[in-house]
Amino acid sequence: MKFLKRGVALALLAAFALTTQPAQAYEKDKTYKITILHTNDHHGHFWRSEYGEYGLAAQKTLVDSIRKEVAQEGGSVLLLSGGDINTGVPESDLQDAEPDFRGMNLIGYDAMAVGNHEFDNPLTVLRQQEKWAKFPFLSANIYQKSTGERLFKPWAIFTRQDIKIAVIGLTTDDTAKIGNPEYFTDIEFRKPAEEAKVVIQELNMNEKPDVIIATTHMGHYDNGDHGSNAPGDVEMARSLPAGSLAMIVGGHSQDPVCMASENKKQVNYVPGTPCAPDKQNGIWIVQAHEWGKYVGRADFEFRNGEMKMVNYQLIPVNLKKKVTWDNGKSERVLYTPEIAENPQMLSLLTPFQNKGKAQLEVKIGSVNGLLEGDRSKVRFVQTNMGRV
């Protein structure tokens, strides 16, 4: 596939509208049902937590049930990830997230955005992960400095019931600032919002999709107030032509994007309660917190070139709350009915979990003192644990 150079595309963007009419294959006046499922910031949580929460085995059961329901209603499903599959759980980290990508294959992910934590490893590891995955890694704004070429596919095309859907990938340009500089010597992270304009024009000129969706790893910041972070999904949506994207499936800020009011998220979202996604400049913005705690579900109706969201929910994956009874005893209870773990997924992941646990039990030394690993400190200053 040949992509236009950035300068040429920007010139064409100024001359032509982004709403170039596609060569449609869908039937006029027919209503199609399309469901977008999404997760983000998985961070190595392929296995259930110590309290039996989330994990890919329960997620597969949930996704399979949604696929079956949607198919019975004559609809189609697209499953996307907002990136950051890597880094967070040692059983995964020690195996370069192989169990996570193989588990995602079994669930049937269609595409993922490249997250900043994908670069916690050398590019050789990331390329190996691409080989394990049966879905594309997408990022339109990451370039190789020495060649000026993109390092990843900028988009992927999917056809659902004669509807041509383009999915763009974008990555926060903060990656160069917060990642390991040793891995970025020949990598450039361009401004994702600027690159999005280029890619939308490329798509409308070359591929002529019926729908364009972005899966991003940029963060959601209320009213675009991104502080010291690079601009995120809200800012990008406002910078694009109105409605040029049907939806942004986000990640990075690790929030359940459930709006309390215009431009303001709920502070303490309660799992299982209604969730209103954000909408900026005619573009829906969603994010499903982190670690596979939720699967986001957006149900759309497509008719005569228009995508209309008819339902949205964040579905908890066996999330629990701590309850203390009158007798002083406490336990963790489910917010919503329990989701059984898929046996096939358990069969796939159990050897990886056992291998990871065995590696962690190998004694390599001892230390007489506290290694500082508190998240509130290690995220902002160098600690002795980081220097080990």
Residue 167 in domain: yes
Q: Does pLDDT of 20 surpass 50? A: no
Task: Please indicate, yes or no, if residue 75 is contained in any of the structural domains.
Answer: yes
pLDDT of 49 strictly over 50:
yes
Position 133 in a domain: yes
The answer to whether position 370 is within a domain reads no
CATH number at residue 170: 3.60.21.10
Q: pLDDT for 150-177, tens place per residue?
A: 999 999 999 999 999 999 999 999 999 9
What are 354-371's pLDDT values in tens digits? 999 999 999 888 888 888
Indicate if the pLDDT at residue 2 is higher than 50. no
Dist CA 21 CA 236 (whole Å) = 23
Split at pLDDT 50, 70, 90, the class of 127 is: very high
Read off the pLDDT of residues 247-256 as tens digits, 9 standing for 90 and up: 999 999 999 9
Q: Does residue 252 fall inside a structural domain?
A: yes
**In this structure, is residue 10 part of a structural domain?**
no
Decide if 385 is inside a domain.
no
Question: Structural domain of residue 324, as residue ranges?
Answer: 31-359
Q: Does 207 reside within a domain?
A: yes
User: How many domains does the chain divide into?
Assistant: 1
CB-CB contact of 152 with 123 (8 Å): no
Q: Say which residue, 19 or 384, is predicted with more confidence.
A: 384
Give per-residue pLDDT as tens, 187-204: 999 999 999 999 999 999
What DSSP line would sit under 46-99, residue for residue? Answer: -S--TTS---HHHHHHHHHHHHHHHHHTT-EEEEEE-S--SSS-HHHHTTTTHH
**Dihedral sign, CA of 129, 132, 138, 142?**
positive
Q: Is the pLDDT of residue 17 over 80?
A: no
